[in-house]
Amino acid sequence: MPEDWKNILSDRPKGTWDCHGETPKIDDERIQFFKGVFQDTLDKFLQNYEINNQLVIHNDSDLYSSTLYVLTRSHNIMKKNTIIIFDEFSNVMDEFRALEDYCSAYNRKYRVIAATENYYQQIAIKFEN
């Protein structure tokens, strides 16, 4: 975590989940890891990214600042019908608020296509425009 995170389940101090620069070892050529926070790595990823099929983003950025950054920097690749899965959506001050602020600023509309029963902890949305 690049900053302290307080949510309804528990508080996580800055540095939680720090992997000390180590990435998981996975034998799958489709997977690529970028070390660092989104603000330092997303632009590098987007430079070479080409959309070939339906875009599905699994967003697990937890924090408001991280989520808003991912949404705004990914704006140009998120077309109509893009699906985003949010992992901590029920904390209204973070992923939920970032999505609402992004949609307000970029005039985006979405509909919920799936949600967990536990207070909308995880949710999937599909952009309508």
Integer Cα distance of 29 and 7 in angstroms: 35
Quick check: 94 and 85 in contact, CB under 8 A? no
Integer Cα distance of 31 and 11 in angstroms: 30
Q: Which two tokens stand for residue 67?
A: 């989520």
3-class SS at 127?
A: strand
Domain spans of the chain?
5-127
pLDDT value, residue 15: 65
CATH class of 5-127: alpha beta
pLDDT digits (tens, 9 = 90+) for 35-66: 888 999 999 889 988 888 899 999 988 889 99
pLDDT digits (tens, 9 = 90+) for 58-102: 998 888 999 999 999 999 999 999 999 999 898 888 999 999 999
Does residue 28 register a pLDDT over 70?
A: yes
Q: For tokens 């991912």, name the residue.
A: 70
Reported pTM: 0.80
pLDDT value, residue 102: 98
Integer Cα distance of 87 and 96 in angstroms: 10
Q: Which two tokens stand for residue 71?
A: 């949404």
